[in-house]
Structure 1
């Protein structure tokens, strides 16, 4: 319409540009993570390679593998973490889920933590806390595939009275220190990192 100042240029191109800006930020965050945890440069390289793929890694439809956001959800005093007994995998894990197109992985982690715990007054703290690439077995009509999990610290600032969602068989607050010695490398690594950064 005459006098309409809205930009009507190529919307797909603009969307692609927006995603590329988000990818640039994510790359910077991954590089920062690699500097903080130099022993994990190999896994950082795997995530950077995924971002180079022309297929959108933010969508679960990319069956070769896709990005997920994880939440190391800690109590206000930092002594405990909330874990889910995952319904589909039958294991105790951190909270989290698929990006489903959202390029802000910290926002994904926070959203999944809220939805899976029923807790409000949660906040993301700091940058990337942990990276983990793990295999998800075939289930029903979904073939086996890789999850590239980008994890953030999420703090519970209010009530710790959780609600078990349909994603979980159960939830539980666990003391972090004993988790550091467990056999699940993914959980124990996060516990060790947390203790190393939060023990005087």
Structure 2
């Protein structure tokens, strides 16, 4: 996968979610910028995430992010890699220790453009997060990385109680529940 593949996927990507649909064109436009995959692009840059579920589709793996202090899916910066599936997989393995990760589909599962607050030495900026659906063995041992405070498999029924209101996670959860019917 490269920026042309991503651009092609974005051209055909459709979603019934208004908040997600509203920024598809922003993602497409960003693919034209040579620096889009570098965190040094201070206006915003691509990141990639893995929405990880167990094979029975009853749990999702979330991390309590150390810098943001919120429960989130696993993922991170592209750091120059235009293959966002590779980025999502690499980040998920680094942040969880899982070896059983399996990409369910090479097409985009979800998109989210969100603001990252200013921190020392880093100005406020946007992350253009491209998300992919992965499955993993819920019984495999998890290894906590330095980027996380905690790491846990959360039942779908408990996600809202655990994370509170996070529209992008709730959207992925809903998509997972709908895709369960199709599998």
Fold shared by both chains (TM-score > 0.5):
yes
Structure 2, unaligned runs of 5 or more: none
The 5 Å alignment of 1:25-64 reads 25-34=5-14, 36-37=15-16, 39=18, 40-53=20-33, 55-64=34-43
RMSD: 1.9
Q: Which runs of 5+ in 1 are unaligned?
A: 1-20
1:124-139 paired onto structure 2 within 5 Å: 124-126=103-105, 127-139=107-119
Q: Is the 8 A contact 1:69 1:105 kept in 2?
A: yes
User: In the alignment, what sits opposite 1:12?
Assistant: none
Report the CA distance between 1:178 and its aligned residue.
Answer: 4.1
Query: Which of the pair has the greater relative contact order for Cα pairs under 8 Å at 6+ separation?
Result: 2
Secondary structure in 2 matching 1:199: helix
SS in 2 for 1:106: helix
Higher helix share: 1
Note the 1:44-193 alignment, pairs <5 A: 44-53=24-33, 55-126=34-105, 127-157=107-137, 159-179=139-159, 182-193=164-175
2:137 and 2:11 map into 1 onto residues whose CA distance is 29
Q: Given that residues 95 and 113 in structure 1 are in contact (C-alpha distance below 8 angstroms), is that contact kept between their aligned partners in structure 2?
A: yes
Structure possessing the higher radius of gyration over alpha carbons: 1
CA drift of 1:169 comes to: 0.3
TM-score, normalised to structure 2, is: 0.89
Is residue 198 of structure 1 aligned with residue 180 of structure 2? yes
Q: What is the CA–CA distance in structure 1 between the aligned matches of 2:53 and 2:167, rounded to whole Å?
A: 19
Aligned residue pairs total 178
TM-score norm. by structure 1 comes to: 0.82
